[in-house]
With several copies, the nearest count.
Chain A
Amino acid sequence: MSATFQLDIEPIRPERLLPSLNNQTCGAVVTFDGRVRDHNDGRSVLRLDYTAHQKLAVAEGQRVVDEALEKFAVEHVVCVHRIGHLAIGDIAVWVGVSAAHRGAAFEASRYVIDEVKQRVPIWKNEFYSDGTEAWVDPTKTSR
């Protein structure tokens, strides 16, 4: 069993992360990736930056993946969040979970991404096609 959370300034490569989920007792692997979309809240997005309170983000992210390991019958939990400059289509966050059965793998991966988005101190600065930029505040956007 393992649970890993990382921040990474380099592009996220799922093919490098997947092997850490392998286990011959695991029948199910669920992965989630969140990618930079070309629009958000009705505005055309060109690129974005993610910044983090790095120490706190790593500590809180690790708590999230540890909780997933505790709450669900899963074997390995991995989450990596990108920071720095991202282009459209780049993977911003990746979650991978392996488990003996698929129910736990789905539930744990959903738990990790939901909690990471709620709790981990990472912020997104969007750059729009009209030349403006803004820090995203999910408590204020219309979605």
Chain B
Amino acid sequence: MKVRVEYFAQFGQLSGCDNELVETDASTVSALYHQLRRRHGLPEPGPAIRAAVNDEFADWERPLCVGDVIAFLPPVSGG
């Protein structure tokens, strides 16, 4: 299944891109993160790291669908 993955801030730095098309067999957001974590050296998931699917915050256990856009969001630092 192909999904689009977006990386923000330091995650973009680590993965070397803002977004990429990923072919994955991961069935959940969490499983996808763990696959990409190994590939790009992303940090361990923690409470300050969040995911969004199709521009909405998403639970880590949310199932993936073909064509989903998944954003991985490092700890926010606005303000």
Contact = CB atoms under 8 A, between A and B. Distances in A.
Which secondary structure dominates where chain B touches chain A?
loop
Interface stretch (A14-22, A46-54, A67-75, A103-111): A46-54
Nearest to B49: A139
Given A56-B52, A56-B55, A93 B9 contact: no
Contacts of B73: 53, 56, 121
Contacts of A139: 46, 48, 75
B76 A122 contact: yes
Given A121-B8, A123-B8, A116 B78 contact: yes
Interface residues of B, number: 20
A80 to B, nearest CB: 12
Contacts of B78: 50, 52, 57, 81, 92-93, 116-117, 120-124
Interface residues of A, number: 30
Interface of B: 6, 8-10, 13, 46, 48, 50, 52, 55-57, 71, 73-79
Interface of A: 34, 50-53, 55-57, 59-60, 81, 92-93, 113, 116-125, 135-140
